[in-house]
Amino acid sequence: MDEQRPAGQPSATALRVYWQPGCTSCLRTKEFLNGHGVPFISVNVLADEQGFRELAELGLRRVPIVRRGDEWVDGQVLRDVARIAGIGWNAPPALPPEVLAARADTVLRGAMRIAAVIPEDGLDTLFPKRPRSYRQITAHIFQIFEAFLDLAEQARRVEQAIYEQDVPAGLATGPQLVAFGEEVRQRFARWWTRAGRATDFRARADVYFGTQTLHEFMERTVWHAAQHMRQLELGALRLGLRVDPPISAEDLAGLPLPENVWDDQVRLD
């Protein structure tokens, strides 16, 4: 149902989705709308300068954004996407926090396992159509969990800039990157053992992209990182490497992941 920007001026009431390749929430937003048969104008802001300017006119520098006329919502909150698209919202229940905690450990271990098989010169390989390296996406996976822990442990608001950080200083080698992941994994395990089980997951999570409970944000944290783990594995396979064991369906069971790994419009050959 998605359409590339048509020639001329489309209707002001047409639904637009602003996105970029490799963006996990962008892909999930597009698949959500396509799955409900909702037509929309697809705007890849990395390839469409006009689309980038349209976001700037709204005072925005992030994706995914779903817009109809002057109204817009952040695509990271599908209930808001459903509202602006005029469709019903009936999300399946999230996995219980204890199951999400187990999935988090699996994702962190998986990302470290994949990163460990990528040679040093391979880590700086860029994904096609997106200026992001395998090294950067590995660090990003671990930083996603850091953002959740900073919120849960220190009540630190999750800002957009947190997800836009580069590889932390001092992580010059692959083993150092993997060690960073292990530090985050152990920190997550300590939080869960000490406080996580007793946390009120119905409380509101202070995040920049919209209204979320802590339970919803924990689910998003885990599936967000898991989707990037899938991309990292695909990157390793593109280098001709073997990931042993590979990511399994059991590792990802119950997470609301997109169907595609990279994108539904841009191929990752």
Tell me, yes or no, whether 107 and 63 share the same domain. Answer: no
CATH code, domain carrying 8: 3.40.30.10
For residue 2, give the 3-state DSSP assignment. strand
Instruction: Report yes or no: 29 and 66 within 8 Å, Cβ to Cβ.
Output: yes
Amino acid 10: pLDDT: 52
Q: Which domain, by its residues, includes 126?
A: 97-252
SS3 content of the chain, % helix, strand, coil (to 5): 50, 10, 40
Predicted TM-score (pTM) of this structure = 0.94
In a domain, 25, yes or no: yes
Amino acid 140: pLDDT: 98
For residue 103, give the 3-state DSSP assignment. helix
Amino acid 5: pLDDT: 54
Tell me, yes or no, whether 120 and 173 share the same domain. Answer: yes
Amino acid 267: pLDDT: 81
The Cα angle at residue 140 between residues 253 and 174, in degrees rounded to 5? 105
List, in order, residues 6 or more apart from 96 with CB less than 8 Å away: none
Instruction: Report yes or no: 74 and 163 within 8 Å, Cβ to Cβ.
Output: no
In a domain, 260, yes or no: no
Spans of the chain, pLDDT less than 50 = 7-8
Instruction: Report yes or no: 29 and 78 within 8 Å, Cβ to Cβ.
Output: yes
